[in-house]
Structure formats: C-alpha cells, structure tokens
C-alpha cells in the first residue's frame, strides 16, 4: 500500500500532535499522557509503512516527497527522501518515542503537558533531519531539535540542569553556526558553477566534490567546508575532544531525555558524517581519515577508561556512549562496505541498548532516588526480574554473540581489518574494557554482599516499565539472531554512498 | 508649487499628520474621547498603509526631493505596522500607568510620518526635514513620564545626543554639497561617477553623514545613549524607538550606498563600515550578557542587530539591500513582541525591569511567556523563526559577495547572543515563582499584541517566501 506524502506525515505528524496537546489545558495530566502515547504509537505504526513501501534493491532515495518550492527566490525546496540508512534510523526514532513516554509515565509529574509537547516537537526535528534532502531544510530541522531538548533538560532535569541545558545548547550551536556558513558557501559555489541557486542535496552531490583541494588548509575550500560540517557533527556524536557536554547533559536530563539523547540525537552526528561529509567531500574525507581514526580510537579507549571509574550508573552509561560511538566512527572512517554497514547497524544497536540501559537506571532511580553504585549491592534477590532484564541489556551492550551489539561490532572490526589492522587491535581492546566496566557495575549493584537495609523493600520492575523496555528487547534479540533483516535494506544505499 | 500628484504621493504621511492634529484637538475639547484614541490611531495607520499599497507609486515627486518607490512602500508598510502595534500596546499600558493622553498618539504619528519621509527622500534637505520631524516628537515621547527621574534622563539624553547627530548630518550635507554642488543624492552620485572619485571633501562629508545616521542606529561608537534611553522611556515608546528610526536610517544608508556606489567608490567604505558592524555586534552582545534590566539588555541586543543589518548595507546591491529590508521587517516583529510582554512588567517606569523578576512566569502567564520565548529564540537566530531567515539572508549576501569574514564573525556573534536570550527563557520556565510576585500584569490586550507579533515571527519564519519576494522586488532598484 502506498500512502501519498508518507514522509511528510511521519515528519510533521508529531508536531501536529504537539499542537493538539497545546490546545488542551495542562490540568488534564492523564489525558496528555494518554494522547501523547497514542500519537506516538500511531506514529510508529504509520512508520512501519515506510518499511513495507521501501524497496531494498533501489539504492537511491525513495518515497521522495517534493521538491515543493519553499523559498524559490533562493532555490530552497522542501524535499524529503529516504534510503536504507535513514529508514533504519527513522524507525529507531519512532520506536523510541512511545518507550520514552512510558518510561516517563510517573517520573515526569510536573508540567506534564509541556514535556509531551517538547518531546513531540523534538520528534519532528529528529525525523526531519534524517529525511531532509535540502540542506536548508536539514539545517532548520537540525536546529529545531535544540529548543525542545533545552527545555527537557532544563525544566525536568536534575540538580545541575541549568548548567547542563545551557552547555548543551551552546555547544551544539557552536558547531551548527559554522555549518550554516559552510552551507551558504556550498550554495554560492553551486551558483558559480551552474548559474542556478540551489541547496538541494542531489545538486550538491554533483558540485561539492569539485571544491578545490589545496596544499594547505587555508587554501583548500573543500577542507574548510568539510571541517565546518565535521565540527557540527563531531560535537553531536560526540567525538573526543568535543564530548564534555555529554556526561552533563545525560546525568541531568530526565530518564526520557537521556533515552532520546543517547538513542537518537547522537546518531544525527554519525549520520551527518556519513550523509554529508563522506558523500559531499570525498577528497577531504580521504585526507581526514587518519585524524578521524585516531580520534575514534581515543574516544573508544578514553570513554571506556573514564566509564570504569564512575561511581554513578548514569554517568557510567553516558561515558560508555562515548566509547560506543567511537566504534561507529571507526567503522565509518574505515570505509569498507562491511564496516560501514556495521557502523549503521551499530547506531541502531546503541540506540536500543543504551536507551534500554538509561531506562532501567531510571527505573531504579525512581525507587531509591540515587544512582550511586555504592548505594546498592546484592539486590538481585530483591528484584529478580529487574536483574534479569538489566543483565540481558548489559550483555547486548558488551557484544555477546546472539545479541545485537555483537553483530555491529564484529562487522565494524572485521570490515576495518583489511585496511587498518592496528586500529582494529586497539578498538578490540575497547570491547574488553567495555565488558569489564559493564560487568563490574552489574556485579557491584546486583551480586556483591547485601549492604543497605533501605534496599530490602525495593519493588521489582512493574508491568508498565516492562512494557516500555520490551520493544527494545525484541529488537535487541532480533538483530542479534537475524541481522540480515536489517542489513539488507541498507546495503544498496551503503554501496552507492561508498562508490562516490 | 507642489502639484496634486505630489500631494497624492505623500497621502499616507498626510493622513498621519492630519490624524495627529485631530487627536490633539480631541484631547483638548472632547476629553471623554480619550479612550478611543488608540483605536483611532490604529485605524489611521491602517488607512495610511492601505493608501501606500493601493495607490500607484509615483516615483520622483516634489521636484526630486522624495522618491516614492517600492522601497518606500516596503519601509512604510513595516513602519506603519510598528505604529499599529505600538498604539495597540500603548492603550492598555498608559491606562495601567494612569498617564493616558491624546498627545501621546499625535506625537507617535508625527514621528512615524517623519520616518517615512526620511526613508523616501532622495534629496538630503528633505531627508533632514524628515529626520527632525522624526526626532523632535520622539524627544517628548522619551520624557513622557516626566515625573520620574529616569524618564527625564532618557528624554534629555536622547535630545542632546539627537541634536549632536543632527549637527553631524547637517554638517555632512554641507560638505557633500560643497563636493558635488547639489544636495540631491542622484546628482551627487552622477557627479562622483564623472568626476575624480573620492576627494577629501567628499570623504569627510560622507563620514559625517554616515556618523549622524550611526547615532540613530546606535552603532558603535555612537551607541552610548541607547541603554539609558531604552530603560527610561515608556515601554511602548522604547518599542517604537527600537525599530522605526533605525529602519529609516538604514534605508537612508541603502539609498546613499546605491546612489554613490559606496562599495566601489572607495575601499575604505567596506573596511570602515565593516569594522563598525563587527564592533557593534561584538560590543552589543558581550555587554548584553551582563545586563540585569531586560530593557537595557534589549538596547544592547539592538546595537548588535543593527551591526548584523549593516553587513547587508555593506554588501549593497539588490542582494544585500533585500536582506536589509527583510531584516528590518523581521526585527520589527521580534522586538514589538518582546516589548509588548515587557510592557506587562512593572507598575511605573521608575521600577527596573529586572530579568530575574520574570522567574516562573512561564507557567503563570503561558501565552505572554510563550510569545516572549518565541521572540527571544528568534532574536537569537534559531530556526524556524523569522530572525533566523533574516540572518540567513544577510550572511548569504555577504558570502556571495566574497565577504566571508563578515559572515563568519556574524555567526560567531549570534552564537554569543544566544547566551543572554536563553537567560530570559531560563527565568521564565526554569525558576520557581518568587513568593512576592513582581509578575506580569494581567492584560488580555497586551498579551494579544505580543501573541500577534510572535505568531508573525513564527509564520513568516516558516513561510518567508512572500516577504522575500517583496523585499527583492523593492531592492531591484538598488541593482548595481
């Protein structure tokens, strides 16, 4: 079945739902929760039509909506399109939104209306950024994510939420303003070459690679434009050394905010590298691969080491994100088909596993109002179901064969081996460290001697929370057992992208 | 003698001046009609707007003193929109501060007609008349709260500085006349084109003239008056002051730059104006960060915004001029919306308008707070609001003209500015309500003004195409 304007419906739908919520007075809190949940579930169901309407044999963009003239004077069009890569990331997004709403069901008890409106607007921003095929449009969606996330951290966050929210906002904006100048320059360059004003991705694919590569950075427009884009995305990923906003944002954000942040927002950075830096500036990419590899490896190892010494579970998971995203960057930089596919799959995996980890940390935080590992210990007997789920997600995160994390990491490392064996060896160390810090945390929280009497009456995970985490677990196992389902749709797109 | 076509050309201005006279008489002889004057002001602004849009644009009128063209039409429409919003705001505001009076609206209309004449003049003498017609009513309006100290200070400061600026402008005009033998911009432009280019007399004259305009625009280093005047003036006057004189002065600069081809006349123009633009952005944004009074903060933010707009003036041509025109219109809506919310804030103008007083208002007065938030994000240049589109156009014109440095310095500056705009949002939504509420007053009328302005900020931001088309078609006149 083909639904016309399906991409627009998926993109703008959440914003419309946010508008509807806006009209309902804030005192009907339950109504807001239920309506938001309904909207997000409907969105997920509708987004499944993306999957059914998608033809895996076609490499280019599908279900293209537009171009519709938006600002014709400047050659700016509204164009949405999807290939196998964005398909997976959009589905990840629509899967996570109901999870977030369920996870926030009781933990968000104030300003319920505002939270759900922010979340739905954020959804529009994220999906739009994955689907936009016009760089002006992309930039608008990209920045649109800032405002709701700023509110989510700043209003519903923890003790140091203001600091974290402002840091998040300013950091992201630092990257994106330079990207804006780069986009303007690409438009100008396209006009110089062709005499036509355009900001279309398809047009830039033709003209941007022709930007000159000079001998030094300052005389090389392609390298400068590349770096402007790279800065924006590197901050978002975040790559070492641009990662310092992430632990603050994660620790202070409410559980739902952390899930979205880790699950989707960070992926926009790696997606941007692949979609824009890799495809538009092949020569500059080639020149920068060593740098990206070095930063990726530093990120993998540094993230793992810092995670190891964290006393706070949420902060530990946050630093593990730095490490995991390092793997994704490694796979992208290695640039073979297997490593790139692995990187894209690992984006999804990380969204699922880390999203689930944040959710589960949030579950126990809601009961005890502490996330310190030292405040727990030996609670496996008290909360057996919770322990089992937590262990499963942990194993997925450290890459146990049969679960999703293994497939992604294996593809990345195997794909990179032929080109950069030394890097792979260092990266593989990161997997070992990953197992160490995650399992050590699990051991201290669940199996070490029972230490605190307050934990005696800890309630086990309830039905709502299980329902929230269940969709994630389904995909964690599915990807682990049968990754082809998810690898085959993106294969053609990845091949096309790498062939440029 | 002016012909009837000449008079018809200035019909919108005449409508405003006539209404101003009528309101004064109403105030004197029918005091009971006082309550309706804000509405009548809005009607006459709308009528003038209609006259400008509906009647044909006659071009050069009054023997070449003024030129009613598409640029004038564009500028007049947004000046009149500003008048309309100011009057809408002023009604409830003056009632709350118990200072209602018909003369307020008369002065407002006179100032607006001055700005419109200024933006339409091609002759420097007509321009000077317009400038004075704009400034003198504003001096009175600044000191409208004549019993408060800061009100008097604002009026006096704007008066002294304004007199200085007028002196600069008059002196500049005299020197330009000496250099070119005419006060008509087009004639001056032609003389330069056929003459020896930039002579010292011409350069000094231009510098004086541009300096005088820079006073009105509050550009560095002529910005010192802005914070005190913004703070001391009644809030609706501040709103008017922050957009109308600045818009008129920028359009004067656009006309001057186009007629004299400043971009190519002398290499010094790009450097001098570029330094002024960047210095205004930088100083405005950095000093705004430490302001505690929101009106003072917006004064510094205004300095920075005129710095961005100057980038478009420097680029010139049709591209840069269109960007400036769009910027002015965008800036009008954002600033009007912000000031409409600020007008809710304190009982009398002697009280400071502390940013910290806004704590917790986000959930107490959701509509007003949301409108203010939209305007703040827009001023910071975050999409999808119109402030982003405006900056996009300005920086785009700079990139296309090869002035990449101006674009980069501009975006770095708008990054800095995000910091203080965000603080307002932070106060609104992320701080608890204080026990004693300094609070926003409850006024459906003011909230509606702010809401309409914020809605315009959002809608024009989402669908900027019609306004860009209007600005571009007006700016065709500046084609190099």
d(CA A400, CA A384): 21
d(CA A285, CA A226): 8
CB-closest option in A72, A144, A173 to B418: A173
Q: Which of A19, A140, A183, A227 to mutate to test the interface with B (most CBs of B within 10 A)?
A: A140
What's residue A212's pLDDT?
Answer: 80
Closest CA to A68 of A124, A140, A132: A132
Closest CA to B276 of B316, B317, B310: B310
Q: Give the list of residues 6+ apart from residue B226 with CB closer than 8 angstroms, or none.
A: B218, B299, B300, B302, B303
Let me know if residue A416 belongs to a domain.
yes
How many domains is chain A built from?
1
CB-closest option in A147, A154, A170 to B426: A154
Contact by Cβ (8 Å): B114, B318: no
Closest CA to B299 of B218, B221, B234: B218
pLDDT tens by residue, chain A, 500 residues: 577 888 999 999 999 999 999 898 888 888 999 999 999 999 999 999 988 888 888 888 888 887 889 998 888 999 999 988 999 999 999 999 999 999 888 888 888 889 999 999 999 999 999 999 999 999 999 999 999 999 999 888 888 888 999 889 988 888 899 999 999 999 999 999 998 999 999 999 888 888 887 777 777 888 899 999 999 999 998 888 888 888 888 888 898 999 999 889 999 999 999 999 999 998 899 889 999 999 999 999 999 999 999 998 999 999 999 999 999 999 999 988 899 999 999 999 999 999 999 999 998 888 888 888 888 888 888 888 999 999 999 999 988 888 888 899 999 999 998 888 888 998 888 889 989 999 999 988 888 888 788 878 888 888 888 899 999 999 999 998 998 888 888 888 888 888 87
Contacts of B399 in chain A (CB under 8 A): 181, 184-185, 188
d(CA B255, CA B330): 20
**Beta carbons of B414 and A144 less than 8 Å apart:** no
What's residue A92's pLDDT?
Answer: 93
d(CA A266, CA A254): 17
Name A202's bridge partners.
none
- How far CA B470 is from CA of B285, B322, B378, in Å, comes to 30, 9, 21
DSSP element (H, E) containing A70: strand A62-71
d(CA B190, CA B194): 6
Distance from CA of B383 to the nearest CA of A (A): 5
A16 touches chain B (CB under 8 A): no
d(CA A258, CA A271): 19
Count Cβ–Cβ pairs < 8 Å, chain A vs chain B. 81
DSSP single-letter state for residue A446: I
d(CA A402, CA A397): 12
Instruction: Count, in order, helices (H) and strands (E) of chain B.
Output: 21, 2
DSSP single-letter state for residue B219: -
Q: Give the list of residues 6+ apart from residue A84 with CB closer than 8 angstroms, or none.
A: A54, A56, A489, A490, A491, A492, A493, A494
d(CA B64, CA A181): 41
Closest CA to B215 of B142, B263, B280, B289: B280
What's residue A91's pLDDT?
Answer: 93
CB-closest option in A114, A165, A185 to B399: A185
B462 touches chain A (CB under 8 A): no
B66-68 and A62-71 as β-strands: parallel, antiparallel, unpaired? unpaired
d(CA B16, CA B113): 6
Q: DSSP letters of A157-215?
A: --TTHHHHHHHHHHHHHHHHHHHHHHHHHHHHHHHHHHS----BHHHHHHHGGGS---S
Let me know if residue A1 belongs to a domain.
no
What's residue B468's pLDDT?
Answer: 93
Instruction: Count, in order, helices (H) and strands (E) of chain A.
Output: 21, 2
d(CA A324, CA A239): 10
- How far CA A393 is from CA of A107, A361, A473, B184, in Å, comes to 21, 11, 8, 78
Let me know if residue A17 belongs to a domain.
yes
Distance from CA of A234 to the nearest CA of B (A): 18
The boundaries of the domain holding residue A123 are 6-499
Contact by Cβ (8 Å): A231, A245: no
A143 touches chain B (CB under 8 A): yes
A161 touches chain B (CB under 8 A): yes
**Beta carbons of B411 and A187 less than 8 Å apart:** no
B289 touches chain A (CB under 8 A): no
- Ranges of chain B whose pLDDT falls below 70: 1, 196-197, 266, 346-350, 436-439, 480
CB-closest option in A71, A174, A177 to B468: A71
What's residue B347's pLDDT?
Answer: 63
Chain B residues 156-215 with CB within 8 Å of chain A: none
DSSP element (H, E) containing A65: strand A62-71
ipTM: 0.91
> pTM for this structure?
0.93
What's residue B304's pLDDT?
Answer: 94
Name B68's bridge partners.
B59
Task: Please report, to the nearest 10 degrees, the dihedral formed by the alpha carbons of residues A380, A385, A390, A393 taken in order.
Answer: 150
Contacts of B426 in chain A (CB under 8 A): 154, 162, 165-166
């Amino acid at each position: 079945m083909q639904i016309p304007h399906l991409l627009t419906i998926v993109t703008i739908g959440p914003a419309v739902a946010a508008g509807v919520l806006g009209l309902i007075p804030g005192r009907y809190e339950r109504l807001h929760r239920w309506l938001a949940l309904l909207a997000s579930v409907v969105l997920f169901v509708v987004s499944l039509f993306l999957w059914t309407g998608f033809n895996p044999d076609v490499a280019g963009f599908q279900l293209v909506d537009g171009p519709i003239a938006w600002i014709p004077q400047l050659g700016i069009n509204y164009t949405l399109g999807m290939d196998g890569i964005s398909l997976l990331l959009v589905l990840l997004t629509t899967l996570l939104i109901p999870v977030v709403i369920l996870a926030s069901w009781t933990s968000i008890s104030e300003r319920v209306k505002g939270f759900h409106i922010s979340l739905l607007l954020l959804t529009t921003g994220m999906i739009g950024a994955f689907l936009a095929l016009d760089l002006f449009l992309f930039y608008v969606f990209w920045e649109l994510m800032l405002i709701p996330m700023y509110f989510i951290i700043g209003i519903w966050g923890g003790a140091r939420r203001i600091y974290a929210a402002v840091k998040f906002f300013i950091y992201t904006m630092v990257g994106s303003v330079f990207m804006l100048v780069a986009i303007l320059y690409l438009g100008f360059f396209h006009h110089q070459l062709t005499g036509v004003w355009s900001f279309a991705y398809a047009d830039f694919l033709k003209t941007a690679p022709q930007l000159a590569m000079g001998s030094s950075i300052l005389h090389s427009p392609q390298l400068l434009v590349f770096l402007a884009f790279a800065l924006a995305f590197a901050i978002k990923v975040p790559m070492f050394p641009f990662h310092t906003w992430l632990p603050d944002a994660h620790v202070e954000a409410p559980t739902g905010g952390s899930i979205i942040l880790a699950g989707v927002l960070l992926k926009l950075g790696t997606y941007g590298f692949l979609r824009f830096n890799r495809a538009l500036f092949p020569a500059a990419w080639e020149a920068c691969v060593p740098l990206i590899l070095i930063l990726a490896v530093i990120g993998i190892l540094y993230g793992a080491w810092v995670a190891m010494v964290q006393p706070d579970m949420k902060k530990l998971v946050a630093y593990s994100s730095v490490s995991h995203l390092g793997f994704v960057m490694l796979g992208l930089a290695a640039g073979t088909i297997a490593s790139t596919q692995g990187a894209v799959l690992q984006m999804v995996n990380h969204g699922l596993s880390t999203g689930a980890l944040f959710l589960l940390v949030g579950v126990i935080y809601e009961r005890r109002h502490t996330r310190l590992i030292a405040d727990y210990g030996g609670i496996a007997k008290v909360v057996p179901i919770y322990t089992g789920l937590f262990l499963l997600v942990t194993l997925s995160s450290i890459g146990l064969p049969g679960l999703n994390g293994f497939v992604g990491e294996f593809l990345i490392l195997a794909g990179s081996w032929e080109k950069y064996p030394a890097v792979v060896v260092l990266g593989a160390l990161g997997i070992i460290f990953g197992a160490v810090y995650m399992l050590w945390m699990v051991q201290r929280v669940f199996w070490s001697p029972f230490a605190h009497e307050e934990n005696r009456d800890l309630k086990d995970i309830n039905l709502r929370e299980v329902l929230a985490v269940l969709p994630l677990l389904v995909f964690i196992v599915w990807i682990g057992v049968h990754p082809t389902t998810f690898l085959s749709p993106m294969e053609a797109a990845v091949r096309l992208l790498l062939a440029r | 003698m002016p012909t009837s076509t000449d008079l018809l050309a200035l019909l919108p201005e005449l409508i405003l001046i006539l209404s101003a006279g009528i309101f004064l008489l109403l105030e004197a002889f029918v005091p009971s009609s006082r309550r309706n004057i804000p509405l009548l002001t809005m009607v006459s602004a709308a009528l003038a707007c209609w006259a400008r849009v509906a009647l044909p644009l006659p071009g050069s009128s009054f023997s070449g003193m003024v030129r009613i063209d598409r640029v004038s039409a564009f500028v007049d429409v947004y000046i009149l929109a500003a008048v309309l919003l100011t009057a809408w705001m002023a009604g409830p505001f003056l009632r709350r501060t118990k200072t209602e009076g018909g003369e307020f609206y008369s002065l407002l209309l006179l100032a607006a007609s001055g700005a419109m004449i200024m933006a339409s003049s091609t002759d420097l003498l007509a321009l000077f008349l317009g400038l004075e017609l704009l400034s003198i009513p504003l001096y009175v309006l600044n000191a409208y709260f004549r019993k408060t100290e800061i009100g008097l200070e604002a009026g006096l400061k704007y008066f002294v500085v304004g007199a200085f600026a007028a002196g600069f402008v008059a002196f500049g005009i005299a020197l330009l006349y000496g250099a070119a033998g005419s006060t008509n911009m087009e004639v001056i432009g032609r003389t330069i084109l056929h003459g020896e280019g930039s002579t010292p007399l011409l350069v000094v004259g231009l510098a004086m003239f541009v300096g005088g305009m820079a006073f009105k625009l509050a550009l560095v280093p002529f910005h010192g008056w802005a914070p005190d005047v913004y703070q001391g003036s009644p809030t609706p006057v501040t709103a008017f002051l922050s957009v109308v004189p600045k818009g008129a002065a920028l359009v004067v600069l656009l006309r001057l730059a186009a007629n004299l081809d400043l971009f190519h006349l002398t290499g010094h123009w790009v450097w001098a104006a570029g330094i002024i633009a960047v210095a205004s952005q930088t100083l405005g944004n950095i000093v705004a960060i430490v302001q505690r009074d929101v009106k003072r903060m917006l004064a510094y933010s205004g300095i920075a915004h005129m710095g961005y707009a100057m980038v478009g003036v420097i680029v010139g041509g049709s591209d840069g001029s269109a960007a400036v025109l769009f910027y002015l219109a965008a800036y009008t809506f954002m600033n009007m919306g912000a000031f409409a919310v600020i007008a809710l804030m304190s009982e009398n103008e002697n009280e400071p308008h502390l940013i910290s007083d806004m704590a917790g208002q986000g959930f107490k007065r959701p509509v007003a707070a949301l409108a203010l938030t939209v305007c703040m994000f827009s001023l910071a240049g975050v999409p999808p609001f119109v402030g982003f589109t405006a900056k996009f156009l300005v920086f785009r014109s700079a990139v296309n003209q090869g002035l990449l440095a101006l674009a980069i310095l501009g975006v770095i500056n708008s990054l800095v500015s995000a910091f203080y705009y965000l603080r307002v949002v932070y106060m609104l939504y992320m701080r608890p309500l204080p026990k004693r509420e300094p609070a926003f007053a409850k006024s459906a009328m003011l909230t509606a003004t702010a809401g309409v302005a914020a809605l315009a900020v959002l809608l024009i931001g989402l669908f900027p195409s019609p306004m860009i088309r209007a600005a571009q078609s007006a700016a065709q006149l500046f084609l190099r």
